[in-house]
A and B are shown apart, each in its own frame.
Chain A
Amino acid sequence: MSDNLSKLLKQAYNHPETGLSDDIWRVIKLKQARNLKMQSLSYSLIGVLSLGGFVFMSFYLKEQFALSGFFEYVSLAFSDSGAVALYWKEYLLSLADSVPIASLGASAFLLLSMLISVKKIVHQYKSQLLLNQN
């Protein structure tokens, strides 16, 4: 019974739609290309902003290191290593205290954002090439 009905239904509802799958594929490719373009633009924008922020933060960080006396503590290690060895605990605490943690963290975050953006842009570029090949 099921074979007969199956045959009848397959015959009745077999309305071939030539070209539909190609049309669908074209639409998907267009959407993929648009998505890739949007993502590339977004990542480029994030990358440029991160780069700008990082450059700015680098100067600010240098200033912060100078103001906190970090460089003096470092030079002390070379000029008076005997005293540093004697009071190494206090020296390390002071050295750590002079590190501008917030600025350093912000710089690292910006650097990381920039690197991730570059990685994503390269990935998008590869996907675009792959899409064009198909």
Chain B
Amino acid sequence: MEGDHILIKKYLDGNQASLKMLIDRYTSSIYNFSSRFVGYEQAKDTTQEVFIKVWKNLKNFDENKSQFKTWIFTIARNSITDYLRKKKSIPFSFLNDEELIEENVLDEEILPDEVYQKLQDKEMLIKVLDETPVQYREVLILRYQEDMTFKEIGEVMDKPLNTVKSYHQRALVLLHQKLK
């Protein structure tokens, strides 16, 4: 499978099929990511908007600055933010940095078995995640669904590494509390 950068280079050299391959590669991820914040119906439009922005700005993409995956997720995040802002339903914390109070520093086994048992229920998992603050949900989805590193998540969210790690930890604590 050809890497993203190779496909971008090929597209910029005139190979249209390479852009189609990039769209095929990322549509599902962007759609599923968007749907967690704007709902499935709006996610289609948001995903389309993301790829139109990608197409328009692909010549400005700098592979030395970021990976394509983090770049496209940053665009998706901005599109979601714009949509929520227009809809005036944006949680304050989605746009602004907040003071993070370090609490309950937990080890990796933050989610015990009984919590995992409850999370097996797909409906329950979606319900619990939809109830968590947007930035925590964002970290969880990027981390566990998109397999991004904390550094990459920081690039997408434009937040320092420690903030992302704190969001992650707080998200897990919150999941634990909700499912206790």
Contact = CB atoms under 8 A, between A and B. Distances in A.
B32 A13 contact: yes
Interface of B: 14, 16-17, 19-20, 23-24, 27-28, 31-32, 35-36, 40, 43-44, 47-48, 51-52, 55, 108-111, 116, 119-120, 122, 125-126, 129, 140-141, 143-145, 147
A62 interface: no
Interface in A74-109: none
A12 B122 contact: yes
Given A12-B125, A131-B16, A1 B110 contact: yes
Interface residues of A, number: 29
A16 B24 CA distance: 12
Contacts, number: 90
A21 B26 CA distance: 9
Contacts of A11: 122
Contact of A25 (B14, B20, B28, B129): B20
Contact of B125 (A9, A17, A21, A134): A9
A15 B125 contact: no
B108 A24 contact: no
Nearest to B122: A12
Interface in A4-20: 4-6, 8-17, 20
A24 B53 CA distance: 12
Contacts of B119: 5, 8
B141 A20 contact: no
Given A2-B144, A21-B23, A27 B110 contact: no
Contacts of A127: 14
A38 interface: no
A32 B23 CA distance: 15
B171 to A, nearest CB: 10
B31 A17 contact: yes
A131 B40 CA distance: 31
Contacts of A131: 16
Given A15-B31, A24-B47, A134 B108 contact: no
A127 B110 CA distance: 55
Given A12-B122, A15-B32, A131-B16, 11 more contacts: A1-B109, A1-B111, A2-B108, A6-B144, A10-B144, A10-B145, A17-B31, A24-B23, A24-B27, A24-B48, A134-B17
Nearest to A5: B144
A2 B32 CA distance: 19
Contacts of B108: 1-2
B140 A9 contact: yes
15 contacts: A1-B108, A5-B140, A6-B144, A6-B147, A8-B116, A8-B144, A9-B125, A10-B144, A13-B141, A15-B32, A20-B27, A24-B47, A27-B52, A130-B16, A131-B16
